[in-house]
Amino acid sequence: MRSCLVVLMVVAVCLVSPAVGAEPVGVGAAWPAISLRGPEIESQRSYLGLEADGPFVLTDVSADIVIVEIFSMYCPHCQREAPKVNQLYQLLLDTPQWRERIKLIGIGVGNSPMEVDFFKDTYGVPFPLFPDGDFAIHKALGEPRTPYFMGIRLGPGGEPRIVYAKLGEFEDPARFVEEIMAMAELK
């Protein structure tokens, strides 16, 4: 019995720790139960369909798919990619069949709120960005390099599941969304 407990402890520690050679979560994996602080900007709360202004989890977002960009203010590729990710956001807004169904957020790994704000201001990022100053989210996601894009299917009823994952830049925003929708088996 005691051995079983110890084994369970080992498994638990391994699951939450940044094990050497840890792999980023990928397609088919459940999205971890990560709590994000609510956006301070009312328009961004409205965009995500959040009713309250406190912390939220991904399933609180009003969408079928949430695209999550894992980025860092300190990452040259993320800096270069920022205008194109802004285009992706605008494309989602401008496309009636996607506007309400697909939402986009970013998580700045190792970035303080100020660093995330600095990135946001520098590149005029219009969609919600969230700080992960202590790398807690980064660790829960298996420590992906940046930028790392994920498409997370939110419904219906089941746990949020990763249906798309991509390390590095995407070429064409429209094709990128279509790939995610295809992987999610949505039209």
Confirm or reject binding of residue 98 to another protein (CB under 8 A).
no
Q: Which is nearer to another protein, 17 or 97 (CB)?
A: 17
Q: Which amino acid is at 77?
A: H
- Say how far apart CA 89 and CA 93 lie, in whole Å: 6
User: Are residues 92 and 177 in contact, defined by beta-carbon separation less than 8 angstroms?
Assistant: yes
End-to-end Cα distance, the chain? 50
Confirm or reject binding of residue 118 to another protein (CB under 8 A).
yes
Token pair belonging to 20 = 């050497």
Torsions phi, psi of 90, nearest 5? -65, -40
Stretch that binds another protein, among 32-40, 95-103, 105-113, 149-157 (CB under 8 A): 105-113
Confirm or reject binding of residue 110 to another protein (CB under 8 A).
yes
- Say how far apart CA 95 and CA 39 lie, in whole Å: 24
Q: Which is nearer to another protein, 92 or 125 (CB)?
A: 125
- Point out which residues bind another protein (CB under 8 A): 3, 6-7, 9-10, 13-14, 17-20, 22, 72-80, 109-110, 112, 114-115, 118-119, 122, 133, 135, 138-139, 143, 145-147, 167-168
